[in-house]
Amino acid sequence: MSELRRIERICVFCGSSDGVDERYANQATALGTEIARRGYGLVYGGGNLGLMGAVSRAAHDGGAAVYGIIPGPLAAKEIAGETIGHIEVVETMHQRKARMAELADAFITLPGGIGTLEELFETISWIQLGIHNKPMGLLNVNGFFDPLRQMLAHQIDQGFIADRYSRLLVVKDDPSALIDDLLSHETPESSVQWITSAQA
C-alpha cells in the first residue's frame, strides 16, 4: 500500500456558471463541504458565481480556509456581491494559474467550459514536464468527463501520449472517494528533465 500524501489545500478548477443540470452545483457544494470536513483549505478561481461560488461557499461555511485567485479584468464578471474567503487579485491568467498551483497540494476539476479545460490541461502538462507531481482528479458528475476520457485514450492509442499517463488522472463520481484516491495516488514520473534558465 502506498504512503498517504500530505495535503493541506486542494485547488478546484470549475465553471463560473451552473450548467443545465442541478447535479453540477449539488456536487460542487458536496465537494466544498467534504474539503472543509477533512480540515483542508480550498484554492479556487476567486469568483462567486456558478460552480465556483457553490464550492467556495460550502467550503467557507464548513470552516475551511478559502483562497481565491482572480485576475483584475475578470473580477467584475465573476464576482457579484460579497466575496468569499481571502481574494488575491493578480494581473494575468498566467499568474492566476501559477499562484493556484503554488498554493495547492492536489487538484480537482469539476465540470466547466473552455477556461476550466485550459486550467486542467496546463496543469497536466506541468506533470509531463516535471514541474510538479501533485495528484489530479476529475469529479465526473453525471458522466460529464466521459468524452474527455475517450479522447485521452484515443491520444494514447495513437502514440501522442505515453501509456503511463493513462494513470495520471483519478476519476470518481463521489467527492469523498475522489479525495481518498488522491491521497494514495502515485503520479506517473516525467520523462523530461526540466532545466531552469539558471542551469542552462
pLDDT digits (tens, 9 = 90+) for 157-199: 999 988 888 888 999 999 999 999 999 998 877 665 544 444 4
Element (H, E) at 183: helix 175-184
Phi-psi region of 39 (alpha: psi -120 to 50; beta: other; left: phi over 0): left
- Would the pTM of this model clear 0.85, i.e. be above it? yes
What one-letter code names the amino acid at 96?
A: R
Is the per-residue pLDDT at 25 higher than 80?
Answer: yes
pLDDT at 82: 62
pLDDT digits (tens, 9 = 90+) for 30-59: 999 999 999 999 999 988 889 999 999 999
Determine phi and psi for 143, rounding to 5 degrees.
Answer: 70, 20
Closest CA to 30 of 51, 10, 13, 46: 51
